[in-house]
Amino acid sequence: MASIVLLSVKQTAQTKAKRCLGSRLKGLAGAGDLNLRFMSHGTAGRSAAGTTKRGALAFSGAVAVTAAAVVGFLANANHFQRAEMATTIPQKAKKTKEEEGDIAQRCRGFMSVPVTDISVLEKRKDEMSTKMEMLIMETQAEFCKALEEVDGGTFKVDKWQRKEGGGGISCVMQDGKVFEKAGVNVSVVFGYLTEEAAKQMRSRGKVLKGKDGKLPFCAMGVSSVIHPKNPHIPTVHFNYRYFEIEEEDGSKQWWFGGGTDLTPVYIDRDDAFLFHNTLKEACDKHHPKYYADFKKWCDRYFYVRHRGETRGIGGIFFDDLDSPNQEEVFNFVKSCARTVVPCYLPIVRKHLNDSFTQEEKDWQQVRRGRYVEFNLVYDRGVKFGLATPGSRIESILMSLPLTARWEYMHEPGKGSREAEMLEVLRNPKEWV
């Protein structure tokens, strides 16, 4: 029997990366215990003047933190998929009281001051980069406060800067009463695409004309992975992000991506229904096919091929959303982001006092090993980030659990709850 323990330690927040991420991964293979800092790497939502046009490039790497997703997108142009928004249900944008308030007032409820200066956000309040930065900050704060309320612990907040432009806010709660490890990260980064990234995009037939050979970009998002102590409380992951590229004439290509997925240790059909139905209701407000299409996409993406099973029971996953117009896509992403509390916290509260055996805890550790396998073997953002010189591994590996276990596992006995879970993972179900 072999086991691996992943620990989190405090490190400096200041990145020394020359590209998108910080310190390079060294000696991962053969490492017994890995000392990691789980946080996100990001960029300040900077919108240059100019008209906006729709882009057709996907943004991948959902399971890694936002920055890893950015680099994963750049590395996997040949795997891009397109999500069409040909017909939508008309939505009248109704501003909430929070959205109607001034930006400075709304920022008082965040976990930290935003990455972008409040004065800049005020001046650019009608730009999509500002709207998205405010949304991801609000999502982070809402989710962190809900988790603190149920756990009784407090998130440690680390605001960091990126030398090349932008920065992020890392919120981590570890060894709490309910959560073994909870990370909720925001990143807002900007700068210039590398030549390699531009080549990847051009290989897709996209004509990108940069000024003096440079292509300014802006990327931002919120990303979270929650690993509870009790094996009857599932792990949850979500990531919502926005990407802009400015061309020579000042026009912009833009797109959104994201999703939310659930990874239980034991299947609870009522929990699965609540989770999926909450996501479906959010999707149905915008397009009748969104939930079905994005659930299938999620099941395909989070598939562990060498095990022949999905990582969990799915949820939704989408990329490259760029039509029919920017405001409608943003409203859809906003609806999805606002499900993160109602689709998960009721499940947590339901199982807070569930008792469990050592055998059930061992099964949780084995399932976490599968979670790690997917992240390190298949996730495009993680793979590219780890292979990129100058990468910040603490950001890339935030999604890993604090502890996990690998051992030879006999097929669970027929009729057992473990066997039931494997059946669901090997044959994805429809929950709503």
pLDDT one-digit tens code per residue, 52-90 = 443 333 333 333 344 444 444 444 333 334 444 434 454
| pLDDT mean over 115-143 | 97
Greater confidence (246 vs 369) lies with 369
Q: Is the dihedral of CA 303, 304, 305, 308 positive or negative?
A: negative
**How would you class 221 by CB atoms within 10 Å of its CB: exposed for 0-12, middle for 13-18, buried for 19 or more?**
buried
Cα dist from 177 to 36, 193, 227, 416, whole Å: 21, 43, 12, 28
What pLDDT does 40 receive?
33
| pLDDT of 46 higher than 60 | no
Distance between start and end Cα atoms, the chain:
39
| pLDDT of 228 higher than 80 | yes
Cα dist from 55 to 245, 322, 323, 324, whole Å: 9, 6, 9, 11
Question: Of the ranges 41-50, 139-148, 268-277, 315-324, which one carries the lowest mean pLDDT score?
Answer: 41-50
Percent of the residues in the chain that have a pLDDT greater than 90, as a whole number: 54
| pLDDT mean over 225-238 | 97
Q: Is 286 a residue of the active site?
A: no
Q: Is the dihedral of CA 131, 137, 140, 144 positive or negative?
A: negative
Residue 165 burial (CB count, 10 A): 18
What are the boundaries of each domain within the chain? 103-426
**How would you class 313 by CB atoms within 10 Å of its CB: exposed for 0-12, middle for 13-18, buried for 19 or more?**
buried
Distance (Å, whole) CA 387 – CA 13: 22
For residue 238, give the nearest of 49, 78, 398, 31 by alpha carbon: 398
Confidence of residue 145 (pLDDT cuts 50, 70, 90): very high
CATH of domain 103-426: 3.40.1500.10
Q: Chain-wide mean pLDDT for the chain?
A: 78
Catalytic residue (choose from 41, 237, 276, 351)? 237
Residue pair 238/69 in contact (Cβ under 8 Å)? The answer is no
Distance (Å, whole) CA 98 – CA 4: 44
Q: Which amino acid type is present at position 85?
A: M
| pLDDT of 107 higher than 80 | yes
